[in-house]
Chains A and B, each alone.
Chain A
């Protein structure tokens, strides 16, 4: 069995509010970057699959050189190797462009039985790359996956988390599986593994390596164009601190505000 984990490098969530629209549009956010938090669950699951069924787990990301740091984190957690996909032509790709590059990267690497992704990137917030990769590869798509129940030569059985409950689904392999946080608890890498990963040489594949022509990817191929980026208008909130002698008095005052002033209850 072979598993490929798709991961993205994104700004540290604590620093997201500091990024300005100008920085974001220039593609240089000027803040600390880490592995997209949702993708840690995908990496962990990729390693667990290898531990359960044997085989190889590969970390793959589309992005410039700085992305090697996130790939090294995946190696430190236990992935066997990493592959980076980058070319200037990839810049400005929308979700479908990104999905196409990743699908080609997977094919170039010899394919995979199971491709794992996170639920969403904390910067783009599309939650659509997994859907795109499954579509471009023409394979099964399983989303909101909270448990991988079983993998056989031909099939995968998973539990999906719905708003209404949990559903068990069987699909043929190969499959793209996007996981939710409930699926596992990502491990901390050991010191030895971090040391080893820090020295890893990560191969890079270009558009030409992937057989992609520049007009298929990047900004020009994007079906959705970002025309503006702005900070949300700050909600004018001036907190009213409710005072009172007793909890009952405070509770009554709060309900007065909510029922009679705001009329929201």
Chain B
């Protein structure tokens, strides 16, 4: 039995959820083969990393044609990989790109799709998946009726495998599998996000602010705490809608779904739509002036106080203990 895993990389930088997905594939495949599919330009080092994280082999589609993520070219490479490997399962990390590509690929190949899985099993050759639906208010068990099945795995649901640089495996070099002149979609520009920010979906720790931070400058003490903890910055919709912070920080129903080890909610009341995006966090800390705020009902630790007093005190204490800058 073989399992194919698509590795999500952007300009050589791999989304860590890819390695978690590879780790899950390793457990599912048992004695079978785990084959990573790496698509990009100048990404041989990614292929080597895939082996170090548990792949038995890598199909490497390395060509200028794949510099940019485009459905036409990436689907063609995946189709080529699937045809040659005949896997039971094609797994994707459920990152933004992973969800997009898995959906487009599955439909192109007329295969069943189970997006955003939080558990995957193979029972007598059939793939069974548990996935959150109704915005996390229910868990559906679904059976994928096609072989292969196409599944994307929610980030931070499977453990991060150990990287072992001494592992060996075969890297099969594949070039462009379609004629580039037929590809009509063109990426004509790219503007990078502020460097150094920790991405919300991969973050182990998130410091999040709501209407209680009172303005754009109210996020500054949160950012300082985040720097000391190595955390990402989240926000409620109220803070985003007020224009205090950009939308890509929004957590919740109409923002991102996160599941860090610690979620520190500062000045967030904990509306049901906010909870939909963060309820799965391992530990939830609420800092809020109002002891009646619903956030305390789902929190593990609460401080009923002014966030402008508590957050700087936390930063100072954490800096002392962690010795960070």
Hey, which bits of chain A sit against chain B, CB under 8 A?
Answer: 11, 13-14, 16-17, 19, 21, 24, 37-38, 94-96, 99, 122-128, 131-132, 134-136, 140-141, 143-144, 157, 161-172, 180-182, 222-232, 235, 237-242, 246-248, 250-252, 254-255, 257-259, 262, 264-265
Q: How many B residues face the partner with a CB closer than 8 A?
A: 93
Taking CB atoms, residues of chain B closer than 8 Å to A226 are: 140-142
| CB within 8 Å for A250 and B303 given contacts A122-B135, A163-B95 | yes
- Please tell me if the beta carbons of B314 and A255 are within 8 angstroms of each other in the complex: yes
- Please tell me if the beta carbons of B112 and A258 are within 8 angstroms of each other in the complex: no
Residues 96-123 of chain B: 1 if any A CB is under 8 Å from the residue's CB, otherwise 0? 1101100110111011111110000000
| CB within 8 Å for A136 and B96 given contacts A17-B272, A265-B229 | no
Partner of A126, one of B110, B115, B204: B115
Minimum CB–CB distance from B102 to chain A (whole Å) comes to 8
- Please tell me if the beta carbons of B133 and A125 are within 8 angstroms of each other in the complex: yes
| CB within 8 Å for A182 and B247 given contacts A134-B104, A163-B96, A255-B317 | yes
| Residue from B13, B137, B285 whose CB has the most chain A CB atoms within 10 Å | B137
Minimum CB–CB distance from B20 to chain A (whole Å) comes to 16
Taking CB atoms, residues of chain A closer than 8 Å to B175 are: none
Hey, which bits of chain B sit against chain A, CB under 8 A?
Answer: 10-11, 13, 15, 68, 71, 95-97, 99-100, 103-104, 106-108, 110-116, 128, 131-146, 184-193, 199, 201, 204-205, 229, 247-248, 250, 253-255, 261-262, 272-273, 276, 279, 282-286, 291, 296-305, 309-310, 312-314, 316-318, 321-322
9 smallest beta-carbon distances between A and B, as pairs: A223-B112, A168-B189, A251-B313, A131-B103, A128-B103, A135-B107, A228-B141, A247-B313, A247-B309
- Please tell me if the beta carbons of A228 and B247 are within 8 angstroms of each other in the complex: no
| CB within 8 Å for A37 and B185 given contacts A13-B272, A125-B133, A162-B96 | no
- Please tell me if the beta carbons of B192 and A231 are within 8 angstroms of each other in the complex: no
Q: How far is the CA of A122 from the CA of B302 in the complex (A)?
A: 29
Interface of A is mostly: mixed
Q: How far is the CA of A229 from the CA of B108 in the complex (A)?
A: 28
Residue of A nearest to B315 (CB): A251
Residue of B nearest to A134 (CB): B104
Instruction: List 15 additional contacts besides A16-B135, A132-B103, A242-B302; criterion CB under 8 Å.
Output: A13-B135, A95-B113, A125-B134, A126-B115, A131-B103, A227-B128, A227-B143, A231-B139, A232-B136, A240-B301, A240-B302, A251-B316, A258-B301, A259-B321, A264-B262
| CB within 8 Å for A165 and B314 given contacts A37-B253, A131-B104, A240-B302 | no
- Please tell me if the beta carbons of B99 and A229 are within 8 angstroms of each other in the complex: no
Taking CB atoms, residues of chain A closer than 8 Å to B317 are: 248, 251-252, 255
- Please tell me if the beta carbons of A132 and B300 are within 8 angstroms of each other in the complex: no
